[in-house]
Amino acid sequence: MTSAQVDKHDGNEAAGISSEGYERGLGPRQVQMIAIGGAIGVGLFLGAGANIAKAGPSLILMYALAGVIIFFIMRALGELLLYRPVSGSFAEYSREFLGPFFGYVTGWTYWLMWIVTGMAELTAAAIYINYWFPSVPQWVTALVFLVVLYVANLISVKLFGEIEFWFSMVKVTALIGMIVIGLGVLTFGFSAAGDTAAVSNLWAFDGFFPKGIGSSLMTLQGVMFAYLAVELVGVTAGESENPEKTLPKAINSLPWRIALFYVGALTVILCVVKWTEFAPGVSPFVAAFAKIGIPAGAAIVNFVVLTAALSSCNSGMYSTGRMLRDLASNGEAPKALGKLAASKTPAIGITVSVALMGIGVLLNYVVPEKAFGYVTSVATAAGIWTWMMILISHIRYRRAVQEGRLPASSFPAPGGSVCSWIALAFLVFVTGLIAYDPDSRVSLYVGAGWAIALAIGWAVMKSRNPQAPAFQKTERETERVG
């Protein structure tokens, strides 16, 4: 880096602009709530119902086990982020430690994950609004939400952060309220559930593993889907006011968030209401509120899950725009996608992503009863790929540090690369479960088709523009190989 480049970099940082040109507009309060919000989504509020029916109380153990693995992944990511905080984190680290092709695949795959997730969440939000306004067509509601969140993302990163802060606040408040009320029912025996609420409900009905350990393990794929987006905090690295302080704090708080919001909430619910009363397609939180007899309980939970869906869609718009810009800066996407608007947001990338999310609006118009099912199977496979790339990049980085080729991070992962190997093995195991399950196997078929499309795109791109950064050995790539 020349002295002029250093001066420019220092001047940008002093002005609150990252080296990538982004505004550092996300404060500690917002980064913390983005991290919390990423760990609380529709997968918990709705998906847990089907998994309880499959595994009974042992689902608590599956969430705890998966939570440990997620913590390993996030500490690996945290070490990489403090080594080099960049907005396109997953793709950038894959590019540096595995090669340009893997950076290209990871960037586009993470982008795809959020596109299909955005479609699914728009559909879910439209369904939730139908609870209050059944006469409003689903596609109209989905379109309104799409436009409002799109405009908010274009205005500034600060507005995105503020919206995400309040979305997360609603989810956190609702879960804490549910836990407090549930503990009150268990302790004092009030409400319609008071006579039957007991800790013994965790084992009194055919044991803790009522369907067997095998059935419990099969829920891991759904449990991992519930944790998708927890890695979103990594995308905020380039726009955090003080990433060296805010990112470690957000990542280190992950264990208590998982313990409280997932393991704690499910434990309380399954103590208050016996597991045999839950059914697929019904939120366990709605069922628990109904059993306790809280007035307007269903409407409250409906509002909370609406907030969770909009939060996820909002995050999708944010992350896809940044990922497209990172791809464009490396010659792996059209150059136009790399431009920043006056608001320091990647407006063109966000616009392209939102236009594709609009396919979800079209699906709500054409097949409203099937729209949600059409777009959810891809997200888990794409998320697992992203997590694997984080872990492999971390293993490669630790090796480079040990050999003295790269500087050590100020936020080293506990256990070094050992925990990354454990997490990687776990993700391979979950992929095997997905392949074994006929209902979820379709995501791997879609993933194979996506891989072929990416390989063709890479070959075409290389033939048309062999001088693009993606096909040149950068200084970092030379260091990695050397």
Using pLDDT thresholds of 50, 70 and 90, give the confidence band for residue 69.
very high
pLDDT reading at 196 higher than 90:
no
Give the whole-angstrom CA distance, residue 335 versus residue 203: 58
Using pLDDT thresholds of 50, 70 and 90, give the confidence band for residue 8.
very low
Domains: count for the chain? 1
Using pLDDT thresholds of 50, 70 and 90, give the confidence band for residue 255.
confident
pLDDT at 373: 52
pLDDT at 113: 87
pLDDT at 87: 66
pLDDT reading at 21 higher than 80:
no
pLDDT at 9: 45
pLDDT reading at 428 higher than 90:
yes
Residue 216: C-alpha distances to residues 92, 211, 356 (Å): 36, 7, 36
Q: In this structure, is residue 91 part of a structural domain?
A: yes
pLDDT at 236: 72
Taking the C-alpha atoms of 57, 59, 60 and 63 in order, what is their torsion angle to the nearest 10 degrees?
180
Q: In this structure, is residue 17 part of a structural domain?
A: no
Cβ neighbours for 33, distance < 8 A, ≥ 6 positions apart? 164, 165, 168, 169, 172
CA angle 476, 330, 481 (to 5 degrees): 25
Q: In this structure, is residue 409 part of a structural domain?
A: no
Give the whole-angstrom CA distance, residue 385 versus residue 97: 15
pLDDT reading at 371 higher than 60:
no
Give the whole-angstrom CA distance, residue 93 versus residue 77: 9
pLDDT at 475: 45
pLDDT reading at 4 higher than 90:
no
CATH value at residue 355: 1.20.1740.10
pLDDT reading at 2 higher than 80:
no
Q: In this structure, is residue 26 part of a structural domain?
A: no
pLDDT at 68: 94
Give the whole-angstrom CA distance, residue 200 versus residue 482: 60
For residue 434, the enclosing domain spans 32-404+417-481
Contact 32, 254 (CB under 8 A): no
DSSP classification of residue 369: T
Give the whole-angstrom CA distance, residue 217 versus residue 212: 9
Q: What number of CA atoms fall less than 13 Å from residue 331's CA on the CB side?
A: 18
Helix (H, G, I), strand (E, B) or coil at 17: strand
Give the whole-angstrom CA distance, residue 128 versus residue 303: 8
Cβ neighbours for 52, distance < 8 A, ≥ 6 positions apart? 59, 266, 270, 275, 278, 284
Q: What DSSP letter does each residue of 182-196 carry, written as one string? A: HHHHHHH--STTTTT
Mean pLDDT value of segment 71-98 = 88
Contact 76, 414 (CB under 8 A): no
Q: In this structure, is residue 102 part of a structural domain?
A: yes
pLDDT reading at 472 higher than 60:
yes
Q: In this structure, is residue 172 part of a structural domain?
A: yes
Q: In this structure, is residue 447 part of a structural domain?
A: yes
**Quick one: which of 182, 171, 177 has its CA closest to 267?**
182
**Quick one: which of 386, 404, 376 has its CA closest to 111?**
386
pLDDT at 235: 73
pLDDT at 233: 76
When the pLDDT of each residue in the chain is averaged and rounded to a whole number, the result is 82
Q: In this structure, is residue 16 part of a structural domain?
A: no
pLDDT digits (tens, 9 = 90+) for 162-190: 888 888 888 888 888 888 988 998 888 77
Lowest mean pLDDT among 159-163, 217-221, 262-266, 358-362: 358-362
Lowest mean pLDDT among 34-38, 60-64, 133-137, 284-288: 34-38
pLDDT digits (tens, 9 = 90+) for 228-237: 888 877 777 6
Mean pLDDT value of segment 252-281 = 86
- Fill in the amino acid letter for 70: I
Residue 140: C-alpha distances to residues 44, 290, 427 (Å): 26, 30, 38
Lowest mean pLDDT among 123-137, 198-212, 307-321, 358-372: 358-372
What's phi and psi for 23, nearest 5 deg? -80, 130
**Partners of 23 in the β-ladder:** 17
pLDDT reading at 465 higher than 90:
no
**Quick one: which of 337, 346, 350 has its CA closest to 150?**
350
Give the whole-angstrom CA distance, residue 57 versus residue 425: 25
Best mean pLDDT range from 23-27, 304-308, 418-422, 477-481: 418-422
Percent of the chain with pLDDT over 90: 27
Best mean pLDDT range from 18-32, 62-76, 179-193, 339-353: 62-76
Cα radius of gyration (the chain): 22
Total number of residues shown for the chain:
482
Best mean pLDDT range from 18-32, 296-310, 415-429, 440-454: 415-429
Give the whole-angstrom CA distance, residue 7 versus residue 10: 5
- Token pair of 28 as six digits: 């500690």
Give the whole-angstrom CA distance, residue 215 versus residue 58: 10
pLDDT at 473: 54
pLDDT digits (tens, 9 = 90+) for 323-363: 888 888 888 888 888 888 888 888 899 999 999 888 877 77
Biggest distance spanned by C-alpha atoms of the chain: 74
